[in-house]
Chain A
């Protein structure tokens, strides 16, 4: 299988791998057919992601897509992140071969879930302060 240089770089040197203390949002993407699991932790300031970290179980492209997705997320407004497409993640790893497209899907799924979680926590906080 031929992978892009960007994908190989993310696999070889994953960005933002690991967990985060007291995150503002947590979300998972799972692709049961493939047993892939990606989890994201987000730090949010003023409605924007200032830090994203990931953990991933899966094939090389899934690990690379999760790594690239953290870079996509950083600086992104939560409202935009809940609409994140798999195509955007795929572009960030320089494209994926057809049999590995699910790698971008599982990463986008996880990031959208983390963004929704962060938004709901923010709503809860504003309700408390109201």
Chain B
């Protein structure tokens, strides 16, 4: 019987048992609509506001600055379109390696007459704060740079970029879906005006997320309806989910520091193990300035989906850096932006570790990967 090893925590995480326990009463017991005036509604409202306090406490911000949404994608869209629609025209700065929720929101604004600059990154996936400064125009209305990229885990110099944004009085949005509760973020020190985060990346439920909006940030609502979330996001709140998000964030506050140390050691054990057993491999992303649990490795001249399938058959869940859809393979746009040659980027595999990952799991993955890659390479034709 194969071991089961889940190394795809950047895609999603199992809900923490303490989070499940916190959520359960809000399905059938405290089921009221938090906007209702009666006691049933007040019980639900209490859960909602407790969660808001938990998140605000973790971020060290005011609870009125937290808006709950349905996911990281909605949070990103709300931040970017909310600022842009309030201005009606202008220029936005982002990077080439943002999540599609940011990239496509900005591209959508371009079709409406807004202008955008997509900044390059270096070979480690870092945005240069001076490049941000050079891209600023008099009409720039927003800078949106992620905190860490989901594929490679490189952590951006948010503090330095935030300083540039503040110097020019431009709102700074940070997609922190991959970093909240994994790496320290100081909203004041980094001059962050809006921060997107999500529950299911930190052992909370899917379909619930949040956006921090610094008091005084000028933006409009992009979803219209009722008076929910201080008129910033219409729609009845997902109370059990939000309660889960609040508890998940609280647990991260308790566990984050110790887990970061443990996962960094395991992440490096994985890379050292693979590097020692498999020739022609490279690590993608910054060698040290990287999420504790993220290890993206290119296996030269091997197709990443064949590795993912081979490891899946050994009970290991990882994700492919290149995606083959309808017979057309696209190497990862993140790796392309970093200048990784195609014969490498086609063989990119992301391993993302989490709270259940053990040293034995890592050793098993290394032991499973080495013969698999050797077998795939042995059947590989030399290209003319």
Contacts and interface: CB of A to CB of B under 8 A. Distances in A.
Interface in B74-98: none
B2 interface: no
State the majority secondary structure of interface residues on B.
Answer: mixed
Interface string A23-53: 0000010010111111100000000000000
B247 interface: no
Given A63-B306, A99-B327, A57 B301 contact: yes
B381 A102 contact: no
B68 to A, nearest CB: 34
A126 B342 CA distance: 45
Contacts of B329: 33-35
Given A39-B381, A55-B379, A63-B376, A11 B327 contact: no
B379 A34 contact: no
B315 interface: no
B379 A18 contact: yes
A121 interface: no
Contacts of B380: 55-57
B379 A14 contact: yes
B381 A11 contact: no
Interface in A86-103: 98-102
B85 to A, nearest CB: 36
Contacts of B306: 11, 58-60, 62-63
Contacts of B325: 99
Given A8-B313, A12-B313, A35-B329, A59 B379 contact: no
Given A11-B310, A33-B329, A59 B381 contact: no
A82 interface: no
Nearest to A28: B381
Interface string B366-384: 0000000001101111010
Interface centre among A18, A35, A62, by most chain B C-beta atoms within 10 angstroms, is A35
B303 interface: yes
State the majority secondary structure of interface residues on A.
Answer: mixed
Interface in B323-360: 324-329, 342, 346
Contacts of B376: 63
Could you say which interface size class chain B belongs to?
Answer: 20 to 34
A72 interface: no
B328 to A, nearest CB: 5
Interface string A118-129: 000000000000
Contacts of A63: 306, 376, 379
A123 to B, nearest CB: 24
B379 A99 contact: no
B305 to A, nearest CB: 4
A35 B379 contact: no
B283 interface: no
A12 B311 CA distance: 11
Contacts of A101: 327
A57 B327 contact: no
A33 B328 contact: yes
B382 to A, nearest CB: 8
Nearest to B304: A59
Interface in B256-313: 301, 303, 305-306, 308-310, 313
B303 A55 contact: no
A58 B327 CA distance: 11
A12 B383 CA distance: 24
A39 B380 CA distance: 9
Give the top 7 A-B pairs by smallest Cβ distance, nearest first.
A60-B309, A55-B381, A102-B327, A59-B305, A17-B379, A39-B381, A33-B328
Given A11-B310, A28-B381, A39-B381, 18 more contacts: A12-B313, A17-B379, A18-B378, A33-B328, A33-B329, A35-B329, A35-B342, A37-B381, A56-B379, A56-B380, A59-B324, A60-B309, A60-B310, A63-B306, A98-B326, A99-B324, A100-B324, A100-B327
